[in-house]
Amino acid sequence: MNAGAIWKKILGFSLCLGLGLAWAMGAFFPAPVGAQAVAPQLQQPSLVESVERGYLAHRRGDYDQAIEIYTGIIRRRGLSVKERAVSYLLRGEAKRDKGDLEEAVYDFTRALNQWPDYPQAIFFRGQVLAKLDRLNEAFADLAKAVELDPDRESYQTNLALLKKRMQTDGLTPNENPEQVQITPPLE
């Protein structure tokens, strides 16, 4: 017998043995009733896949679906502090774009509760606070974002525009603002 024929016999025997064991295991340890219906639900998309789905929903204007997806990510076990912070930031962006500005402020704050020096969360919260006419709080956040990331041109520009707006409104920006303290409601 040549080597090819020997390998075919070994593989054939392995395949038969494997199928026999699989059948025996199923016969002695049957799957619970309804296991087929439950199994697909147990397979959760990866974190990257979920973020991509949320991003695409947000981008096409389906803010409710994006919020739902990001909420699912936030509730996952095993996320790092920064992954959870980014998830809150993404959900906050979807809420902001939906027009739920107070809820967006809460999510940006939740992101900061996870990662206190997260410049983008501070910046976005500052922008939303400005939209809500909470100018002193907005100034404090934008100034902090510039302090944390002084090379980011958009942070510098937004802070300058807010200063100009405050001066137009007769307000004097505090050049040494205190960190904004916002307590979001429990989820």
- The CA-based angle 182-187-138, given to 5 degrees, is 25
Please determine, for residue 30, whether its predicted confidence score (pLDDT) is greater than 60.
no
Give the type of residue at 179: Q
- Kindly report, residue by residue over 84-116, the tens digit of the pLDDT: 999 999 999 999 999 999 999 999 999 999 999
Specify the pLDDT at position 187. Answer: 81
* CA-to-CA separations, 130 to 139, 142, 151, 153, 158, in angstroms, rounded: 8, 10, 22, 18, 10
Closest CA to 162 of 149, 175, 148: 175
Given its phi and psi angles, is residue 34 left (phi above 0), alpha (psi -120 to 50 degrees) or beta? left
Please determine, for residue 153, whether its predicted confidence score (pLDDT) is greater than 60.
yes
Specify the pLDDT at position 181. Answer: 85
Asked if residue 74 lies in contact with residue 89, where contact means CB atoms within 8 angstroms, the answer is: no
For the chain, report the end-to-end CA distance as a whole number of angstroms: 71
**Average pLDDT of the residues of the chain:** 83
Measure the CA–CA gap between 39 and 166, rounded to whole angstroms: 57
Please determine, for residue 83, whether its predicted confidence score (pLDDT) is greater than 70.
yes
DSSP at 79: -
Please determine, for residue 13, whether its predicted confidence score (pLDDT) is greater than 70.
no
Structure tokens at 187: 């989820």
DSSP at 29: S
Specify the pLDDT at position 185. Answer: 83
- Name, in order, each residue with C-beta under 8 angstroms of 184's C-beta and a sequence gap of 6 or more: 105, 106, 107, 109, 110, 113
Closest CA to 89 of 69, 62, 118, 60: 118
Please determine, for residue 21, whether its predicted confidence score (pLDDT) is greater than 50.
no
Please determine, for residue 11, whether its predicted confidence score (pLDDT) is greater than 50.
no
Specify the pLDDT at position 33. Answer: 52
Q: Is the dihedral of CA 90, 96, 97, 99 positive or negative?
A: positive
The pTM of this model reads: 0.74
Please determine, for residue 123, whether its predicted confidence score (pLDDT) is greater than 60.
yes
